[in-house]
A and B are shown apart, each in its own frame.
Chain A
């Protein structure tokens, strides 16, 4: 598998095969916090500290969080639509320039939700990735690393562009 940017600014993932297709296809589901309180808290953190925190948080939940929730959901819908390119075994995934921010956002949602669900620590992120995926946690860590690598390549392209 390798990545490139085409002249129109689209990010292209070439040679997506077998298990990597499954890991990419799992992005929308991984981004769902569902009923996980730690995951929801991480996607919607408290906005303030200090003596005004309670008042600001209350207003935030009412007026700001619905907009953020909509933004996150729209990003996931965009990614899910792009992933349909791989249905039927397609091995190339093209992400047009205007969808790249939705991808960065959704990949981040997925990484943060997985990390919150599996209580991922700084030590987990600094340590080497396990080559043996023997548990759901191992698989979640692999997803976090893999999605992070995708983000990194996308960001490099943005910086260069």
Chain B
């Protein structure tokens, strides 16, 4: 019984999705941030601009949610473009 509960908890933890979040900084240009969102996530201009404005106005925006490996890849790509990006478990 105990083993069953442990396994269930582990599976749940592994299955928890991760958020990819971009944070505001005072230096990056709005046009540059929009361009990076289009390139990294393949978002159309309108969606990229919506997220860019969310970053600008609210200080952060969740760009993507999904499995950890993909989230790490997106954060790596965002860092390669010098954006402030982090990943965190979606249930935080």
- The interface of chain A, by Cβ under 8 A from chain B, is 42-53, 56, 64, 68, 71, 104-105, 108-109, 111-112, 115, 120-122, 124-125, 144, 148, 151-152, 155-156, 158-159
Classify the interface of chain B: helix, strand, loop or mixed: mixed
Q: Is B86 an interface residue (CB 8 A)?
A: yes
The 8 A CB mask of B47-83 against A (1 = contact, 0 = none) is 0000000000000000000000000100110011110
Query: What residues of B have a CB within 8 angstroms of the CB of A44 in the complex?
Result: 79
CB distance from A42 to the nearest CB of B (A): 8
What number of B residues sit within 8 Å (CB to CB) of A? 23
Given contacts A47-B75, A47-B79, contact A56 B27 (CB under 8 A): no
Contact between A125 and B27, CB atoms less than 8 A apart: yes
Q: Name the contact of A104 in the complex, choosing from B32, B86, B89 (C-beta under 8 A).
A: B32
Contact between B79 and A108, CB atoms less than 8 A apart: no
Contact between A108 and B26, CB atoms less than 8 A apart: no
Given contacts A45-B79, A47-B75, A68-B79, contact A155 B86 (CB under 8 A): no
Q: Name the contact of B32 in the complex, choosing from A51, A121, A151 (C-beta under 8 A).
A: A151
Q: Name the contact of A109 in the complex, choosing from B32, B79, B82, B88 (C-beta under 8 A).
A: B82
CB distance from B11 to the nearest CB of A (A): 17
Bound-complex Cα distance A109 to B28 (A): 10
